Copies of this chain bind each other. A is one copy, B any other.
Amino acid sequence: MGNGQAAGRRPGPTQTRALVLTAARQLFSDLGYDRTTIRGIAREAGVDPALVHHFFGRKEDVFLRALEIPFQPADLIARVVGAGPRNSLAQRLLRVFLSLWEDPASRLRMQALIRSATTSQQGADLLRQFLTATVLSRIADALGVPRLRITLVGSQLVGIAIVRYVLGVEPLASASQEEIVKLVAPSIQRYLDS
Enumerate chain B residues within 8 angstroms of A7, measured Cβ to Cβ: none
Q: CB of A190 within 8 A of chain B?
A: yes
Identical chains bound together, number: 2
- Please list 6 pairs of residues, one from A and one from B, whose beta carbons are closer than 8 Å in the complex, sorted by A's number: A124-B167, A148-B171, A152-B172, A159-B162, A186-B190, A187-B190
Q: Which residues of A contact B (CB under 8 A)?
A: 111, 114-115, 117-119, 124, 127-128, 131-132, 136, 147-149, 151-152, 154-160, 162-164, 166-172, 175, 179, 183-184, 186-188, 190-191
A-side interface mostly: helix
> Contact at A162–B158, with CB atoms within 8 Å?
yes
| Residues of the B chain whose Cβ atoms lie less than 8 Å from the Cβ of A155 | 156, 159-160, 162-164, 172
Which single member of B114, B117, B132, B183 contacts A148 (CB below 8 Å)? B183
